[in-house]
Amino acid sequence: MLFVHSVTKKESVTLREYYKRGPNTLVRARAHTILMSRKGADVPTISTYIEYDTKTVRQWIRAWNDTRMSSIFPGYVNNENAAKLTTEQKAEIAETLHTPDGIPQELWDLPKLKAHVNTTFGVVYESDRSYHYLLAHIGLSWKLPTPFDIRRDEWHIAKRMKEIRLEIAPYLMDDNWEVLVADETRVDWEEEVRRAWLPKGAKTIIKLERKKTGQSYFGTLSLKTKRHTLIPLDWQDTEHIILALLQIKKKYPHKRICIIWDNARWHKSKGLRKQLHAGQSLASFHLINFPPYAPDENPEEHVWKYGKENSANKHFTSFEELKCAFTKLVDNKTFDYKM
């Protein structure tokens, strides 16, 4: 006797969906046939119940055993393979994904896309890769989004950046001034275990030092020379930032220095402002703050990103080795990042 060989739990859920809400009668009948056969109904019983002849029912069961879910969608339904989306349907999905009134584009994920395609067009692909191709076809790509604070004010940022550019324009033309963008970062190191090709039947052990450590850095990028300077920090606070600024002062001993940086509390502390007064250690400095919640406006952030991306996913036997690699990537190097 002829029965379906097997139906997975996932396939069973999909078949029930098509039996209840398939795009046409033929697709619903095919799904119903497989579900009944899975429950043990023979061909004559199925034929009588769904009102198709036994020859057709046998063909559907054999097709399921050969091609699984794709057999539910005959190529002659509406002159289009119902298991595939038409060009017009893909265009409609693209419009939906890019329309602010629908689900926000940044919140779409694979389960939501599957549900939308199934509910709207009655189409279910067997492979997740098919949905990946669909997303690529409609102009999306798999990448890490840039997180912005919910309090970010685009109008204020644009206004403030225009003011900053006007303020530093004379300094960029004056040889007596050096103009730097600056920021702090931290590089962390912890040994971790990842999957690898290992011998079968044998337990592989790797001994690790389970200790997490890190190093803070202060960096400046010259908007004139494009040269980057890296300074290790023992801590990110007013005291250590003042020490870092004194090192920058030694680098430009005969110039006034304009630094543009973010609104970290130690960048605006009373202790730091006191050192800016005439006769104090940082009197040659002029400090400007970027607008709040706008890290993307600071070219120094791009330097950190470059250094971390190019030192990530690599094996370092010690933290010193990681620090050395990070330093070589960004210290005293030129970066043409514009503000």
Range with the lowest mean pLDDT among 64-78, 109-123, 181-195, 241-255?
64-78
- Listed in sequence order, the residues at least 6 apart from 199 whose beta carbon sits closer than 8 Å to its beta carbon are none
Report pLDDT digits (tens) over 109-159: 778 788 778 777 777 776 777 777 777 777 776 666 667 778 889 999 999
Note the pLDDT of residue 82.
Answer: 41
Q: What pLDDT is recorded for position 250?
A: 96
Residue 335: the pLDDT is: 96
Per-residue model confidence as pLDDT tens digits over 282-326: 999 999 999 999 999 999 999 999 999 898 777 777 889 999 999
The per-residue pLDDT for 126 is 66
Residue 34: which H helix or E strand, with range? helix 25-38
| 309 burial via Cβ count (<10 Å: 0-12, 13-18, 19+) | exposed
Is residue 41 scored above 50 in pLDDT? yes
Domain layout of the chain by residue ranges: 9-76, 87-137, 154-193+209-330
Higher pLDDT pick, 13 / 335 = 335
Q: What is the pLDDT of residue 103?
A: 54
Q: Which CATH class is domain 154-193+209-330?
A: alpha beta
- Tell me: pLDDT of 231 over 90: yes
194 or 264: which leads in pLDDT: 264
CA angle 288, 289, 294 (to 5 degrees): 145
What does the pLDDT read at residue 194? Answer: 60
**One-character DSSP codes across 120-178:** HH----SSHHHHHHHHHHTT----PPPP--TT--HHHHHHHHHHHHHHHHHHHH-TTEE
Question: Who contacts 4 (Cβ-Cβ below 8 Å, separation ≥6)?
Answer: 34, 37, 38, 61, 64, 65
Cα dihedral 58/61/67/70 (nearest 10)? 100
pTM of the predicted model over 0.75: no
Percent of all residues in the chain with a pLDDT value above 90, rounded to a whole number: 50
Greater confidence (155 vs 202) lies with: 155
Residue 332, pLDDT score: 96
Question: How confident is residue 277, by pLDDT bands cut at 50, 70 and 90?
Answer: very high
